[in-house]
Amino acid sequence: MSAQPRITFHDGKSMPQLGLGVWQASVEEARRAALKAIEVGYRSIDTAAIYRNEEGIGQAIKDSPVPRDQLYITTKLWNDAHLDARKALETSLRKLQLDAVDLYLIHWPTPAKDNYVQAWKGLIELQKAGLTRSIGVSNFHVPHLQRLIDETGVVPVLNQIEVHPLLQQQELRAWNVAHKIHVESWSPLAQGGEGVFDQEIIRALGKKYGKTPAQIVIRWHLDQGLIVIPKSVTPSRIEENFQVFDFRLEPDELARIATLDKGKRLGPHPDQFS
């Protein structure tokens, strides 16, 4: 199997392009899923304070035969802690049993509270203090990103947003790329629902490449340069979702999947969510 690709940020650090998501997993499910993922070759895990399973990820890191410096751990600052990012990250680090995470994200801008620039200043300090190696955001739209850049001069390395074949966010993605902000897709499999796996083009490509619909969708993210974090707590699916480095989709196949975009959002709208 080909080596798993990494994405390099403007801060000089890099992360694996494919990782494991653990939203809606319990502490124990997250621990088992992370250990299984590491066993099959994943090196990146995406959690968040609000997922309430950082302890499980911490235990998996501790029990894993793979050294800490070969793993890439992301966690996120929840909406109620924008004004005290240091305390929030220290709590996360305690649960993760780590001295530092690799990537710390502001989970949502929550513009109604208007504290996200303050939160970003907090993350800048946390990076300087060595508690996180890189800093980024999640669910940020252009005006939110523009304010961070205008008011601090520090550009996030990454913006984690909802992207799947039914919500492709081309404009927002293009703006991020133009500003050297990598895009990471959340709910990359449309949460396994919404008929995404039953789309004719996805099925046809699965047949052509001898791959499952989930593998075709993950490959679609990878082939567009997106970082992708499919979630599963099922061992066979964790394994399946990693078997995607031995084929590539053709440009015309990516173009055909592009026609599935319906602007269908599964999560909250970032401008309204608080």
Residue numbers at the binding site for ligand NAD (CB under 6 A): 21-23, 46, 107, 138-139, 160, 186-192, 214, 229-232, 237, 240-241, 267
Tell me the residue nearest to ligand NAD as measured from the CB.
21
The answer to whether the beta carbons of residues 183 and 163 sit under 8 Å apart is: yes
Looking at the Cβ atoms of 129 and 271, the one nearer to ligand NAD is 271
Q: Phi-psi category of 220—alpha, beta or left, where left has phi over 0 and alpha has psi -120 to 50?
A: alpha
Q: Which is nearer to ligand NAD, 116 or 129 (CB)?
A: 116
- Taking the complex as a whole, how short is the minimal distance between the CB of residue 20 and ligand NAD, in angstroms? 8
Burial of residue 257 (number of CB atoms within 10 Å: 0-12, 13-18, 19+): buried
* CB nearer ligand NAD, residue 9 or residue 242: 242
CA 100 to chain centre: 18
Residue 70, both tokens = 């070969």
Active site residue 51: yes
- State the nearest-atom distance from the C-beta of 67 to ligand NAD, in Å: 23
Can you read off the two tokens belonging to residue 264? 């269908």
Q: Which is nearer to ligand NAD, 129 or 234 (CB)?
A: 234
Q: What angle do CA 166, 73, 146 make, to 5 degrees?
A: 60
Q: Which residue has the tokens 């989930």?
A: 214
Give the separation between CA 268 and CA 184, rounded to whole angstroms: 17
Minimum separation from the CB atom of position 229 to ligand NAD (A): 5
Q: How far, in Å, CA of 262 to CA of 221, rounded?
A: 17
What's the min distance (Å) between Cβ of 115 and ligand NAD? 17
Whole-angstrom distance, CA of residue 200 vs CA of residue 220 = 15
| Pick 20 or 153: Cβ nearer ligand NAD | 20
Interatomic CA distance for residues 167 and 157, integer angstroms:
22
| Least Cβ distance, residue 43 to ligand NAD (angstroms) | 15
Q: Which residues are catalytic?
A: 51
